[in-house]
C-alpha cells in the first residue's frame, strides 16, 4: 500500500532564505509523485510532478524537487523564499496512472518572515 | 475563466436543510472528483466519476449524494448534515487514458460549508 509522510506541519523561513519541505513516501511499485500548493481560500494547484523521467523535477514559481529512491524521499526546495510563497504545500503519491489513486500528505504550512 | 468552477463558495446550513454544491469543468476532462478538506486532516477522497459513471465511493455517509449528469458537471447534494461535516469541499477533474504519465488533478477553489 502506498502512503506519504510530510515532516513538519509548519515551516517558517525568512524572505530570501532556502525553502526545504520534506516528503517521504512508501510504495510497492515505482511511484508517481506530486507537489501541490494551496494559497489561502483557493483550491490546490500542481507545482510539479515526477513520472520516472529525470530525478530532478523543476516546477512553477522556482520550486524543484528531487526523487531519491534510496531514501524514498521527494523533498521540495526553492533557493530563495518570497513572501508570495506563503501557502500550504501537499506532497502526494500515486502507484498508478489514474488520478483517483493519488494519496495526499497532511500538508506543510509555509510561513515567510520579512 | 478558471478551469474548474465551484458554486457557492460559502454555504451555511442547518442540520435539517437540503442544499447542493455545484462543480463545472471547462478543460475537456472525463473524470471528476469530490474531496473533503477538514482542518488538520489529510485530504479525503469522497467520490470519483469516470465518463459520468461513479467508480469510487469511499464509505461516504448517505447524507452526501453525488450526481454527475455529464462529463463537465458534478453536484454534491447535501441533506440532514451534522456539524462535523463542516469543511472545505473541493471538486477536481482529470483526463483519463493519458499514456506515459500520471493523471494530474485540477482543482476548483472549493465550497466552504458550515453546518449549524
Spell out which residues of chain B touch residue A6, defining contact as CB-CB under 8 Å: none
> What does the pLDDT read at residue A12?
97
Backbone torsion region of residue B80, taken as left when φ is above 0, otherwise alpha when ψ lies between -120 and 50, otherwise beta: left
Contacts with A, B 30-59, CB within 8 Å: 31, 33, 40-43, 45, 48, 50, 55-56
Q: Which of B31, B58, B30 is nearest to B43 (CA)?
A: B58
Distance from CA of A96 to the nearest CA of B (A): 7
CB contact under 8 A, B105 and A44: yes
Nearest CB among A45, A99, A107 relative to B94 is that of A99
Q: Is B102 on the interface with A (CB under 8 A)?
A: yes
| 3-class DSSP assignment, residue A85 | helix
On the CB side of B46, how many CA atoms lie within 13 Å of its CA?
Answer: 26
Span A88-98, average pLDDT: 83
The candidate with the shortest Cα–Cα distance to A22, out of A105, A99, A82, A111, is A105
Give me the pLDDT at residue B97, please: 60
pLDDT of residue B108: 95
- Judged against a pLDDT cut of 60, whether residue B9 lies above it is answered with yes
**Nearest CB to A34; choose among B48, B56, B104:** B104
| CA B28/CA B30 separation, integer angstroms | 7
Query: Mean pLDDT across chain A, nearest whole number?
Result: 91
Partner residue opposite B104 with nearest CB, options A46, A104, A106: A46
Question: A79 versus A97: which is more confidently predicted?
Answer: A79
CB–CB contact A99 B104 (8 Å): yes
pLDDT of A99 reads 63
Task: Check residue B99 and give its pLDDT.
Answer: 46
> What pLDDT does residue B100 have?
42
Which of A43, A74, A87, A106 to mutate: most B Cβ within 10 Å? A43
Beta bridge partners of B19: B78
A46 contact residues in B (CB cutoff 8 A): 104-106
What was the pLDDT predicted at B51? 81
The predicted model gives A77-106 an average pLDDT of: 88
Q: Say yes or no to pLDDT of B111 above 90.
A: yes
Taking residues B39-55, report their average pLDDT. Answer: 85
CA distance A72 to B2: 35
Amino acid at each position: 500500500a502506498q502512503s506519504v509522510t510530510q515532516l513538519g506541519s509548519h515551516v517558517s523561513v525568512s524572505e530570501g532564505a532556502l525553502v526545504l519541505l520534506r516528503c517521504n513516501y512508501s510504495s510497492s511499485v515505482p511511484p508517481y509523485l506530486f507537489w501541490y500548493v494551496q494559497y489561502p481560500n483557493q483550491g490546490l494547484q500542481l507545482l510539479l510532478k515526477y513520472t520516472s523521467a529525470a530525478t530532478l523535477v523543476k516546477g512553477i514559481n522556482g520550486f524543484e524537487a528531487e526523487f531519491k529512491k534510496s531514501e524514498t524521499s521527494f523533498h521540495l526546495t526553492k533557493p530563495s523564499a518570497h513572501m508570495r510563497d506563503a501557502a500550504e504545500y501537499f506532497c502526494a503519491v500515486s502507484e498508478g496512472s489514474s488520478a483517483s489513486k493519488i494519496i495526499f500528505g497532511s500538508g506543510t504550512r509555509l510561513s515567510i518572515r520579512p | 475563466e478558471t478551469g474548474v468552477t465551484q458554486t457557492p463558495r460559502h454555504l451555511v446550513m442547518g442540520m435539517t436543510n437540503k442544499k447542493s454544491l455545484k462543480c463545472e469543468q471547462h478543460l475537456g476532462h472525463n473524470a471528476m472528483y469530490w474531496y473533503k478538506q477538514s482542518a488538520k486532516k489529510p485530504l479525503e477522497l469522497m467520490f470519483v466519476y469516470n465518463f459520468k459513471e461513479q467508480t469510487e465511493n469511499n464509505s461516504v455517509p448517505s447524507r452526501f449524494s453525488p450526481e454527475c449528469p455529464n462529463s463537465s458537471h458534478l453536484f454534491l447534494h447535501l441533506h440532514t448534515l451534522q456539524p462535523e461535516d463542516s469543511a472545505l469541499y473541493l471538486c477536481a477533474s482529470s483526463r483519463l487514458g493519458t499514456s506515459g504519465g500520471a493523471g494530474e488533478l485540477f482543482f476548483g477553489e472549493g465550497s466552504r460549508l458550515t453546518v449549524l
